[in-house]
C-alpha cells in the first residue's frame, strides 16, 4: 500500500509518499497553512504528490481516548478537536492538515497515528502524579509521554539490529525525550502531561521545580502567559547559551565560552541522569539508541553522555562515534562493551506508514 504521510508541526508541514517497500517516492515541505493562500499551496502540493492509496496523520496528542492508531472519521475528528487544550500548539495544525487532505484528495482513507499512544502502556507507577484523586480524575492529569512514533520505530529497529531486550531510546532534537522499552513495549518515558517535562531541549526548560514557577508568579508577579512562553520558547539551550542550535553550543564549549560550556554540561548531566532512570525502570540495559537531529549528528553529545554511563555497561568507540552513515544506522559502541550502542535515523514516516497498513490492511479497506 502506498501511503501519504502527513506530519504537521507547529510551523511546518512535511508530506511524504512511501511505496510498498517504504521507499520515499515524493516529498513536499511547506509552511503550516495560516490562511487561504497557504492552504491553497498545500492542496496543490497534495494533488501533485502521486497516487497514494491512504493517508497517515501524525497527531501529537491522543489523550486517554486514543491509545492506538485509528481510522479518521467525523466522530474521531470531533474527539481530536476536544483534545486541543492538551496540545494547543500542535493539535490545530494537525487537524488543519487533515482537512486539507480531505479537500484535495476526497475519498482517500486516513489513519490518525498518535505520539502519545506508544506510552499508553507505561505502568501506573510511572504514569501517575502524586496529586489528589479528584484532580487526576476530573482533568485526566497523568504522564502521557510524547515522541512515541519515533521511540516505537527506533526501538523496533534496534531490536532488528541487536535482538530483543531492554532498550533505552534517546530522541534528541529541538524537543528531546527518552523511553524505556522492554520487548517492544514502553514502560517509562521522560516527558509527562506536556512536552515540557524531562530533558533540557532547544528552547524548552525541561523539568523545573514547580515551586520555582509558583514563586515567580507570586513574588515576582510574572503572569502565567509569560511563564508559559518563557519555559516553552526562551529556556533550554537558548536560555543557557543564547542559542538553540546544539552545533553552536558544542563549538562554543570547545572554544572555551563559559555559557556554552555550562549549557552542554547541564544538557548532558540531565541526559545521563535520564538514561540511568530509564535503565532502572527496565532493571538493566542491553541497547542504547540515539536518534533525532542532535542524536544523529552530534558525536560530542553522544560521547559526553556515554562518558558518565560506564557503570551501566555503556562504552562508546571514539572512531565509530565520529563516523557517519549518511542518514543510515550504525553501531557506535565499543566491541567489548556489555551494552550495545547505536545511532538510528529517525523515521516516523515509516512508523506511520506501518500503522496505516495495520489499520486498513494492504487493500486499504
Domains of the chain with CATH codes: 3-114 (3.30.420.40), 148-348 (3.30.420.40)
CA distance 217 to 215: 5
3-state DSSP helix/strand/coil percent for the chain, to nearest 5? 45, 20, 35
Mean pLDDT check: name the lowest of 9-18, 211-220, 231-240, 263-272: 9-18
pLDDT tier, 364 (very low <50, low <70, confident <90, very high otherwise): very low
- Judge whether residue 233 has pLDDT over 50: yes
Q: What does the pLDDT average to over 156-182?
A: 97
CA distance linking residue 119 with residue 184, whole number of Å: 11
Q: How far apart are CA 357 and CA 52, in angstroms?
A: 12
Nearest 5 degrees, angle CA 11-CA 15-CA 18? 150
Tens digit of pLDDT for each residue in 317-340? 999 999 876 668 999 999 999 999
- pLDDT tens digit string along 254-276? 999 999 999 999 999 999 999 99
Q: What is the CA radius of gyration of the chain?
A: 21
For residue 365, the model assigns a pLDDT of: 43
DSSP classification of residue 32: P
Q: Cβ distance 166 to 282 under 8 Å?
A: yes
Q: Which pLDDT band holds residue 35 (cuts at 50, 70, 90)?
A: low
Say whether pLDDT at 363 is over 60: no
The DSSP line for 136-194 is HHHHT-S-----HHHHHHHHHHHHHHH-SSEEEEEEESSSEEEEEEETTEEEEES--SS
Nearest to 144 by CA among 126, 170, 131: 126
Q: Cell match 507507577: residue?
A: 125
Q: Check whether 82 has a pLDDT greater than 80.
A: yes
Average pLDDT over residues 47-52: 91
Task: State the average pLDDT for the chain.
Answer: 95
Please say whether the beta carbons of 54 and 4 come within 8 A.
yes
- Confirm whether 245 is a catalytic residue: no
Helix 74-82 vs helix 91-104: angle between axes, to the nearest 10 degrees?
160
| Single pTM value for the model | 0.95
Which 3 state secondary structure label does DSSP give 70?
Answer: strand
**The one catalytic residue among 115, 286, 317, 329:** 115
Whether the per-residue pLDDT at 302 is higher than 60: the answer is yes
Strands (DSSP E) contained in the chain are 3-8, 12-18, 24-31, 54-59, 70-71, 110-114, 166-172, 176-182, 185-189, 287-291, 330-331, 340-343
Residue 187's alpha-carbon distances to 4, 68, 81, 287, in angstroms, are 30, 16, 28, 15
Q: How far apart are CA 41 and CA 38, in angstroms?
A: 5
Section 215-234 average pLDDT: 97
| pLDDT recorded at residue 328 | 87
Amino acid at each position: 500500500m502506498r501511503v501519504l504521510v502527513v506530519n504537521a508541526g507547529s510551523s511546518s508541514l512535511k508530506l511524504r509518499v512511501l511505496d510498498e517497500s517504504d521507499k520515499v517516492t515524493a516529498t513536499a515541505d511547506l509552511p503550516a497553512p495560516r490562511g487561504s493562500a497557504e492552504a491553497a499551496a498545500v492542496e496543490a502540493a497534495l494533488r501533485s504528490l502521486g497516487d497514494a492509496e491512504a493517508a497517515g496523520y501524525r497527531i501529537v496528542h491522543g489523550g486517554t481516548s486514543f491509545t492506538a492508531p485509528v481510522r479518521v472519521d467525523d466522530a474521531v475528528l470531533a474527539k481530536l478537536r476536544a483534545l486541543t487544550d492538551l496540545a494547543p500548539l500542535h493539535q490545530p495544525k494537525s487537524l488543519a492538515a487533515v482537512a486539507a487532505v480531505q479537500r484535495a484528495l476526497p475519498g482517500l482513507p486516513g489513519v490518525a497515528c498518535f505520539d502519545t499512544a506508544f506510552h499508553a502502556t507505561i505502568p501506573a507507577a510511572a504514569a501517575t502524579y502524586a496529586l489528589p484523586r479528584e484532580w487526576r480524575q476530573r482533568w485526566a492529569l497523568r504522564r502521557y509521554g510524547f515522541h512515541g512514533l519515533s521511540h516505537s520505530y527506533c526501538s523496533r529497529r534496534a531490536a532488528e539490529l541487536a535482538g530483543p531486550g531492554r532498550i533505552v531510546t534517546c530522541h534528541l532534537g529541538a524537543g528531546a525525550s527518552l523511553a524505556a522499552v522492554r520487548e517492544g513495549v514502553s514502560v517509562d518515558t521522560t516527558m509527562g502531561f506536556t512536552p515540557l517535562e524531562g530533558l533540557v531541549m532547544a528552547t524548552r526548560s525541561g523539568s523545573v521545580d514547580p515551586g520555582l514557577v509558583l514563586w515567580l508568579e507570586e513574588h515576582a508577579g510574572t503572569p502565567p502567559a509569560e511563564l508559559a512562553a518563557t519555559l516553552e520558547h526562551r529556556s533550554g539551550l537558548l536560555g543557557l547559551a543564547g542559542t538553540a542550535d546544539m552545533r553552536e553550543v558544542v563549538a562554543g564549549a570547545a572554544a572555551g565560552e563559559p555559557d556554552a560550556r555550562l549549557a552542554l554540561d547541564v544538557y548532558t548531566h540531565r541526559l545521563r541522569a535520564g538514561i540511568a532512570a530509564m535503565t532502572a525502570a527496565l532493571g538493566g540495559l542491553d541497547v542504547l539508541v540515539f536518534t533525532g537531529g542532535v542524536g544523529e549528528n552530534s558525536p560530542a553529545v553522544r560521547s559526553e553522555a556515554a562518558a558518565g554511563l560506564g557503570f551501566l555497561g555503556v562504552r562508546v568507540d571514539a572512531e565509530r562515534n565520529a563516523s557517519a552513515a549518511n542518514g543510515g544506522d550504525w553501531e557506535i559502541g565499543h566491541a567489548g562493551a556489555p551494552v550495545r550502542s547505536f545511532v538510528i535515523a529517525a523515521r516516523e514516516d515509516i512508523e506511520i506508514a506501518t500503522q496505516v497498513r495495520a489499520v486498513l490492511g494492504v487493500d486499504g479497506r
